[in-house]
A and B are shown apart, each in its own frame.
Chain A
Amino acid sequence: MKNIVFMMDIDLEGKGDHDNRYHSKRRLPYQYSIASWRQWCEKHNCELFVLNDLLYPNTEMPICFQRHYIFDLMEANNIEYDQILSVDADTIVHPDCPNFFEMTNNKYTVVQIDGSWDWVMRSIENYSNHLFNGFKMPWDQYFDSGFWIVNKTHKDFAKSMTDFYWENKEKLQQIEQTFHNGTEQTPLNFMLHTNNVDITLLPYEYNMNDMHRKGVLDEELSMTKTGWVYQYNAIPDNKDYKAATYWMQKTYEHLYGKLND
């Protein structure tokens, strides 16, 4: 059975304000992400699954919660699988990235985050105070939900995530709209702990978030010498997602050549 790399590439048709996180323009550079993962999958005998349609309208259930239907999607499409990586489409993988599926110990596998701890700690505190009855997860295990690896033993947990959403839909939307501390990422972090799910925490180089802060998002593409998976978030001056598009194209062409070559 193959391991699967699962991505979502969906036009949410957001318009207007360039800060709109669901703006159509955000999707423009995803082609580079998908192309990089396709080549990594070929090298490691994995299957790439790109979802192009929402399961529910985004207003009904935000897109990031919908990916927790991942096991249903596999079964509905008759896909046999061993482990599944869910990865954001604003990432590029290095062609020499080691096979992280071999590092999971069959646990729920995520990557250590390092970036604005102001944002993370506010998110932890606000979700703790308003939804998790004061429970707080250990901050040094907090991860970005743009990269997680699961296997069949995590089916029940995935269902508990979607159930949790439907049971707390209004509260979740209210917290998101009040504090802007993320949609699904912090609830996922919390839920893994409240459900006592064993976690493997991979080091930062397997999902390099906030690269600008670390001084590796530069014209020399230092990130390609210091890690394996690059996530193009928290980029300053990213109006209309032009900066993200610029860096993703530049990284892709540096590592793989022109798209469609």
Chain B
Amino acid sequence: MEFFMKQNVVFLTKLRYDRGISEPSKNSWEYWCYKNNHKLFIHEGENPWNNLFDVFNILEENNIEYNKIFVVNGSSIVKWDCPNIFDLTDDRLGAWREMGNLGAIYKDIQDSGLDVDIFKYVNYGSFIINKNHKEFFEIASKTTHRNITETSFQTSVNSLLQSNSIEINMDISREYNLNHMMPYDWYSYNWQDGKDKTNFFIKYAYLWRFDDLDNNKYTDISSQIWNSIKNKYTSI
């Protein structure tokens, strides 16, 4: 007889184009999940993020029991000492407000013709979900438009969340989903005072999303960053 123990699951979707971040992302999540006794599931495929709403089916097909699921894309690196993210959530869907490029979001909503409240617009690269959301994800997987640009896909996801009146917990600190790091100067450090050249995002946030880096710089920057911190992920 086989026993399955329910765990919280990090559902990491690998990127379509690796750009040097997938391996650091995987390594960081492996370390963090082991340290916190969570299950890491790596979802690969042609365009894994398009399977966003198939999360429950995919886990069940792989005989994985779950409590809460953190769906996060492979552009992320979790900090070695990140507190237990699952402890920050309740039974609502956990997500973070998206307003990095508010102008583009506004135009995208206009172009989509969808009825989306921009004040409730969330980033679709990180969700914390549980069984309560299974029915919604099944509905969404049948209705999401797949062959549209990523921003439009995000708008489509928001439309579905709002039209299905899904309760969203947007109160989780931005420390746990830091994106748009380049335009918002998170790579900087305190160049005025002292000798500490640690990047601000490393010092002050726990989950870093590298999905806005320029394609030409992506591999260089991600490998530089990973090389500077990878020794933190070796001892448990």
Contacts and interface: CB of A to CB of B under 8 A. Distances in A.
Interface stretch (B48-56, B98-106, B124-132, B214-222): B98-106
Contacts of A179: 192-193
A121 interface: yes
B44 interface: no
B174 A205 contact: no
Contacts of B150: none
B76 to A, nearest CB: 18
A204 B186 CA distance: 19
B173 to A, nearest CB: 5
Nearest to A116: B185
Interface in A204-225: 204-205, 213-216, 218, 222, 225
Interface in B184-217: 184-186, 188, 190-194, 200, 203-204
B118 interface: yes
B119 interface: yes
A134 interface: no
Given A114-B184, A118-B188, A140-B175, A222 B200 contact: no
Interface string A177-211: 01101000000000000000000000111000000
Interface residues of B, number: 28
B183 interface: yes
Contacts of B102: 214-216, 222, 226
B103 A121 contact: no
Interface residues of A, number: 29
Contact of A117 (B104, B175, B186): B186
A129 B196 CA distance: 13
B119 A216 contact: no
A138 B173 CA distance: 10
A203 B203 CA distance: 24
Interface in B106-152: 106-107, 118-119
Given A114-B184, A116-B185, A117-B184, A216 B190 contact: no
Interface of A: 114-119, 121-122, 125-126, 129-130, 138-140, 178-179, 181, 203-205, 213-216, 218, 222, 225-226
Given A213-B184, A222-B102, 19 more contacts: A115-B184, A118-B186, A118-B188, A119-B185, A121-B190, A121-B203, A121-B204, A122-B188, A129-B193, A138-B173, A213-B183, A214-B102, A215-B104, A216-B106, A225-B106, A225-B118, A226-B103, A226-B105, A226-B118
Closest 7 CB pairs between A and B?
A: A215-B103, A118-B185, A118-B188, A214-B102, A216-B103, A121-B200, A140-B173
